[in-house]
Amino acid sequence: MLDIKQVRLDPHAVAGALNKKYYRFDVAEFEALDALRKKADISSQNLLAERKKASKQIGELIKSGLNIDEAKAQVNESLAKIEADLEALKQQAKETNDALDNLLMAVPNLPANEVPEGKDESNNIEVLRWGQPRQFDFEIKDHVDVGGTLGGLDFDVAAKITGSRFAVMRGGLARLHRALIQLMLDTHTREHGYQEVYVPYMVNADSLRGTGQLPKFEADLFKLQGDSEYYLIPTAEVPVTNLYRDTIVDGAELDKGLRFTCHTPCFRSEAGSYGRDTRGMIRQHQFEKVELVQFVKPDESDAALDTLTGHAEAILQKLDLPYRKVILCGGDLGFSARKTYDLEVWLPGQSAYREISSCSNFGDFQARRMMARWRNPESGKPELLHTLNGSGLAVGRTLVAILENYQQADGSLTIPSVLQGYMGGIEKILPGEL
């Protein structure tokens, strides 16, 4: 959520900044609501002053000749009207503040100055490329056909069990999928200083509001039926970031580093992706991800984004998967993000780079919604944290990249050397070998 003080100071500047995200901020609506709030506050203060003055009138009325009962009755009549007016103003103020909150909850974060202009992903700017795509001397298959040849990837059975956009993995591919998770968690905990956490796969609405999924993106979520208002998590970002909701972190604790990594399944309705990536594992309703989350001081978040992105890149480099890094333009930037780098892995079956990780700096946008703070030792006062997260990596898409980049002419799949220890020394998966 944006700082309402910043919006009040210069709403037109806020609207101008949001234009980069192709979001129209209604300045007139905001100013009208804020004026109503201010008017209600001033009226309440005036009535409180009248109530205080009226309470002192009993003595004056008695001095003027009224008996005590008549004086009390006259003052009580005035007080009753003041109280009724105060109650009405209190309700008006609540409704106005609720409307202001609802308006601001739907407003995206301001993009960083260095975010490039552009309407969609075609305007993202490449920052670097790593690795050289492999040259094949046989006809390339996509991951669906490679998995089908191996016999370990089945979409038809998954559709029978549940529906479209689900997958069943067996044998060597299921083990390879698990090995990828272990590699990612081990790398981030042993080499990058992250603490592994286990979190619930269901969250309440407050947690989703805190990270920005609600209220705007409810259609993308799976809401559970029952007495409690629970949702399946779209990403581990939600429960992990909410570890510090309504919390004030000591500055010394923050100096030690608040870095968390977490493996969870993720559940998304993909409501806005009708007709896109319907083949294979690129866009599914259920998938696995290893998430990276950091909480930092405000003046450290820009550097932390580069560091976090590098941690995700390290996995791709260990797997020797060619990729590129792009900075998202304003029109492609997420709702809560102020700056995002996407990592896109090379998929020879599509002859294209496809997103495998998004790494974002949210500034204090999420922290303000969650009241996640740290105590500044210099001032002794609580201040908002800055939050960051990124995929380190999306496990299913990493498996897709291995299937396509490590396929062999005879239909087998070579296991990347860094994963062979996690696979019990297996160097290759052969067709039909379950």
The predicted-structure confidence for 187-238, as pLDDT tens digits, reads as follows 999 999 999 999 999 999 999 999 999 999 999 999 999 999 999 999 999 9
Query: Rounded to whole angstroms, how far apart are CA atoms 35 and 28?
Result: 10
Dihedral sign from CA coordinates of 35, 40, 43, 48: negative
pLDDT of residue 107: 98
Q: Flag whether 356 is marked binding.
A: yes
Q: Flag whether 282 is marked binding.
A: no
Residue 414, judged by CB atoms within 10 A of its CB (0-12, 13-18, 19+), counts as: middle
Backbone phi and psi for residue 433, each to the nearest 5 degrees, phi listed first? -90, 100
Report the pLDDT averaged over residues 358-376.
Answer: 98
- Is it the case that residue 434 has pLDDT exceeding 90? no
DSSP 213-256: -TTTTGGGS-BPPSSS-EEE-SSTHHHHHGGGTTEEEEHHHHHH
Q: Which amino acid is at 4?
A: I
Alpha-carbon dihedral angle through residues 269, 275, 277, 281, given to the nearest 10 degrees: 40
- What percentage of the chain exceeds 90 in pLDDT? 84
Q: H helices of 56-170, where?
A: 57-63, 68-105, 143-150, 155-161
pLDDT of residue 60: 64
Query: Rounded to whole angstroms, how far apart are CA atoms 288 and 281?
Result: 11
127-172 pLDDT, tens digit per residue, is: 999 999 999 999 999 999 999 999 999 999 999 999 999 999 999 9
* pLDDT band of 93, cuts 50, 70, 90: confident
Average pLDDT, the chain: 94
CA atoms within 13 A on the CB side of 28: 0
Q: Flag whether 139 is marked binding.
A: no
Q: Which amino acid is at 83?
A: E
Cross-strand pairs, 211: none
Q: Flag whether 235 is marked binding.
A: yes
- What percentage of the chain exceeds 70 in pLDDT? 94
Q: Flag whether 140 is marked binding.
A: no
Q: Flag whether 270 is marked binding.
A: yes
Helix (H, G, I), strand (E, B) or coil at 18: helix
Enter the tokens of residue 325: 């890094």
* pLDDT band of 270, cuts 50, 70, 90: confident
Query: Rounded to whole angstroms, how far apart are CA atoms 337 and 360?
Result: 6
- Is it the case that residue 423 has pLDDT exceeding 80? yes
- Is it the case that residue 58 has pLDDT exceeding 60? no
- Is it the case that residue 59 has pLDDT exceeding 90? no
Q: Flag whether 268 is marked binding.
A: yes
Indicate the class that CATH gives domain 121-429: alpha beta
- Bond before 393 cis per omega within 30 degrees: yes
- Per-residue exposure over 184-219, b if at least 16 CB sit within 10 Å of its own CB, e if not: bbebbeeebebeebebeeebebebbbbbbbbeebee
What's the angle, vertex CA 155, arms to CA 152 and CA 161, rounded to 5? 110
Pick the closest to residue 400 from 346, 351, 324 (CA basis).
346
Query: Rounded to whole angstroms, how far apart are CA atoms 365 and 348?
Result: 38
Q: Flag whether 360 is marked binding.
A: no
Query: Rounded to whole angstroms, how far apart are CA atoms 157 and 177?
Result: 18
Helix (H, G, I), strand (E, B) or coil at 266: strand
Q: Taking a C-beta distance cutoff of 8 angstroms, is the pair 230, 209 a contact?
A: no
Q: Flag whether 44 is marked binding.
A: no
Q: Which amino acid is at 102?
A: N
Q: Flag whether 355 is marked binding.
A: yes
297-348 pLDDT, tens digit per residue, is: 999 999 999 999 999 999 999 999 999 999 999 999 999 999 999 999 999 9
Q: Flag whether 43 is marked binding.
A: no
Q: Flag whether 358 is marked binding.
A: yes
Whole-model pTM: value is: 0.92
289-310 pLDDT, tens digit per residue, is: 999 999 999 999 999 999 999 9
Q: Flag whether 291 is marked binding.
A: yes
